[in-house]
């Protein structure tokens, strides 16, 4: 993965990770320029602010600039819409001029909406070529997770925000396991929304309260309490396997804090857990 922090997102990279993709023509409409985040085929040619990477100003850019600034009407650009963000199919220079020369807030566009699904699986393999693409894929995972569980981050007291791909898959699998095993499978007879919110209230929130109140997250400044919750649940699984019984969250938390502070703690853990901690610490 190349880390080019000011590039647009490559639409092709995003699309290859999606499943059940469908396109719907939404006609011509004014779209916010600040919601355009990517490109089909030219993500390397422009910065995220749609400034050309090449120092030399192209003849096409100059002709578009003169047309826009003189008040000439240009045809709509063409874009794909995924969630609430847009990827440019045609019209990159028109966006450059509108955004950076005309100081416009919106631009007319022919919009093709992309609907999709994602397999929420902890072992799903993603491919991406920039950090921005990776972050966008996490957003897509979040959207699918919300659709499947009805847990809407916009209304949750402590939103579920993560920094790793497949994290939402791990949470979804935990909710499914909670649903199967709660009170002899009682929740399996009801819609998943009941399991999702009961899991959130009885499992997630109490754990997050501990993480926040005891400032466990202080050692992982670039991560979220949800990241740490997922890691602790995995660590709890390994501890419980060794002990032969469920060791509980409090014991897991204390064990983590104690071992994390010891030198060479990572060397004592299984490789999969070492990888989790190293990624959380970044």
Predicted pLDDT of residue 69: 80
Predicted pLDDT of residue 265: 46
114 in Cβ contact with 83 (< 8 Å)? no
Predicted pLDDT of residue 1: 44
Enter the tokens of residue 11.
Answer: 């639409």
Predicted pLDDT of residue 3: 46
Which of 143, 159, 150, 156 has the alpha carbon at shortest distance from 191? 150
Predicted pLDDT of residue 34: 95
Predicted pLDDT of residue 18: 96
Which domains does the chain carry?
Answer: 9-117 (3.90.1530.10), 150-281 (no CATH)
Distance of CA 153 to the CA centre of its chain: 13
Axis-axis angle for helices 192-199, 167-181 (nearest 10): 110
Mean pLDDT in consecutive groups of 10 residues from the start of the chain, 282 residues:
68 95 97 96 87 70 83 92 97 90 91 95 92 95 97 96 96 95 87 95 92 83 90 81 76 72 48 56 54
* β-pairing verdict for 19-32 and 36-39: unpaired
Predicted pLDDT of residue 282: 54
Predicted pLDDT of residue 281: 54
Task: Return the C-alpha torsion angle 274, 278, 280, 282, nearest 10.
Answer: 180
List CB contacts of 108: < 8 A, sequence separation 6 or more.
28, 29, 30, 31, 76, 77
């Amino acid at each position: 993965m190349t880390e080019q922090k000011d590039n647009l997102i490559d639409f092709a990279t995003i699309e290859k990770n999606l499943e059940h993709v469908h396109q719907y023509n939404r006609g011509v409409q004014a779209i916010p320029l600040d919601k355009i985040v990517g490109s089909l085929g030219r993500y390397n040619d422009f910065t995220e602010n749609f400034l050309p990477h090449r120092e030399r100003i192209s003849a096409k850019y100059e002709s578009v600039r003169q047309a826009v600034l003189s008040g000439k009407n240009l045809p709509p650009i063409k874009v794909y819409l995924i969630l609430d963000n847009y990827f440019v199919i045609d019209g990159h220079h028109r966006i450059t001029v509108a955004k950076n020369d005309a100081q416009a807030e919106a631009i007319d566009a022919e919009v093709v909406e992309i609907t999709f699904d994602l397999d929420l699986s902890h072992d799903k393999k993603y491919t991406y070529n920039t950090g921005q693409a990776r972050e966008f894929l996490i957003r897509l995972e979040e959207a699918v997770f919300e659709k499947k569980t009805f847990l809407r981050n916009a209304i949750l007291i402590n939103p579920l925000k993560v920094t790793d791909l497949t994290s939402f898959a791990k949470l979804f699998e935990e909710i499914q396991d909670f649903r199967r095993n709660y009170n002899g499978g009682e929740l399996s007879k009801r819609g998943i929304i009941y399991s999702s919110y009961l899991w959130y209230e009885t499992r997630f929130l109490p754990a997050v309260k501990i993480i926040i109140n005891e400032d466990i997250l202080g050692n992982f400044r670039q991560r979220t309490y949800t990241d740490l919750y997922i890691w602790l649940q995995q660590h709890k699984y390994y501890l419980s396997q060794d002990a032969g019984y469920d060791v509980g969250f409090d014991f897991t938390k204390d064990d983590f804090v104690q071992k994390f502070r010891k030198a060479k703690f990572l060397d004592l853990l299984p490789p999969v857990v070492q990888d989790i901690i190293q990624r959380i610490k970044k």
